[in-house]
Structure 1
Amino acid sequence: MYVSNHLSLVEQHRQDAYSISERTAQFLAAGGAVAHLPSPPRNPLPPKRSAKIDPDTILKRRKPPISRAERNALRKLAEAL
């Protein structure tokens, strides 16, 4: 027979479970009602991105790499020095 390693954890929280069930019974006996609401979506959609572009923002763009011909020309200039 298999015995869970978490049995002592269950025993530790048993008193809390009894307390919660007693308080729930008192709430319902006093005229309280339990509302069953729909659950929230699991993965909420991210907020929409703004289409506004701030004119003060400076975009950092990467310069295109030099071509093979430009690289060869620079190499020839370097050798000439």
Structure 2
Amino acid sequence: MTYVSNHLSLVEQHRQHADSISERTAQFLAAGGNVAQVPSLAGNPIPPKRSAKIDPETILKRRKPAITRAERNALRKLAEAL
């Protein structure tokens, strides 16, 4: 049993383009061109290291912690007493 690839027509569509690339490569090499193989680039660059310096201005801008459940209940009782 033989199977026909769905992508065969796609291959045939691009064959003319591939032949053109092959022809131009042959012309380049015949004219004295040189093809060099170089190592590939790394996938993801290493992120920069974090600074150990802490800006005093940043510390002052930090959010205050939320009030606790007990503090919220105490405020509610005070508001009801008014």
Give the TM-score normalised by structure 2. 0.77
Q: Deviations over 1:9-29 (max 9, x none)?
A: 111100000000000000000
Q: Which runs of 5+ in 1 are unaligned?
A: none
Structure 2 counterparts to residues 30-45 of structure 1, below 5 A: 30-45=31-46
SS of the residue corresponding to residue 78 of structure 2 reads helix
Count of residue pairs brought into register by the alignment:
80
Q: 1:77 to 1:54 in 2, by over 3 A?
A: closer
Q: Distance in 2 between matches of 1:45 and 1:33?
A: 33
Letter in 1 for 2:27: Q
Residue number in structure 2 paired with 1:24: 25
Q: Could you say which structure has the higher helix fraction?
A: 2
RMSD across aligned positions (CA): 2.5
Q: 1:54 to 1:76 in 2, by over 3 A?
A: closer
% identical aligned pairs? 79
Q: 1:66 to 1:58 in 2, by over 3 A?
A: closer
Letter in 2 for 1:31: G
